[in-house]
Amino acid sequence: MLLARRNNDWLPTLMNEFWNDEYLRKSTPATNIIENDKEYKLQFAAPGMKKEDVKISLNGKVLTVTMEKSEKNEEKNEKFLRREFGHTEFSQSYTLPEDADLKAIEAKVEDGVLNVTLPKLASEAKEDAVKYIDIQ
């Protein structure tokens, strides 16, 4: 079962129909989604991001990853000929597969990469997740 990416941002998709996808390349970090027998892994390019810049939330089966960072270089008593500042913001949601263990999700920012690990449920746990309803 694959992770399904949810795109809540309809405007760039609509704009992409008429223009090129330059907007999407600038605003969406490179992302890898990896599956093996034990887990799913999401990897996001996050250069310069710290753990304080990242927020991960889970609403039901929807995992949302948000990264936001603002930079201001301010020096007093200087005459600016050029002044640089920046703001980076990214948010993406994923519908998780049925076999993802929602209670054991882990995340770590290291060397400019955000790694989110979603362990898979053991086969016994998957069977226990099925609930049968008595008919009266």
pLDDT reported for residue 127: 58
Average pLDDT over residues 117-133: 74
Of 126 and 65, the structure prediction assigns the larger pLDDT to: 65
Question: Residue 116: what pLDDT?
Answer: 96
Residue ranges of domains in the chain, CATH in brackets: 4-128 (2.60.40.790)
Query: 104-129 burial, b for 16+ CB within 10 Å, e for fewer?
Result: ebebebeeebbbbbbbbbeeeeeeee
- Would the CA dihedral through 32, 36, 40, 46 be positive or negative? negative
For the chain, give percent helix, strand, coil, nearest 5: 20, 40, 40
Residue 125, classed as helix, strand or coil, is helix
pTM of the model: 0.67
pLDDT mean over 116-124: 87
Q: Which two tokens stand for residue 42?
A: 């999401």
Contact 62, 95 (CB under 8 A): yes
Would you mind telling me the total number of residues written for the chain in this entry? 136
For residue 124, the SS3 value is helix
- Per-residue pLDDT reduced to its tens digit, 32-53: 999 999 999 999 998 888 889 9
Work out the number of other CB atoms within 10 angstroms of the CB of residue 65. Answer: 21
| Confidence at residue 24, expressed as pLDDT on a 0 to 100 scale | 43
The model's pLDDT over 47-103, given as tens digits with 9 standing for 90+, comes to 888 889 999 999 999 999 999 888 776 666 667 666 667 777 889 999 999 999 999
Strand ranges (DSSP E) for 36-134? 39-45, 54-59, 62-72, 85-95, 106-110, 113-119
Whole-number Cα distances in Å, 122 to 54, 73, 96, 132: 29, 50, 16, 20
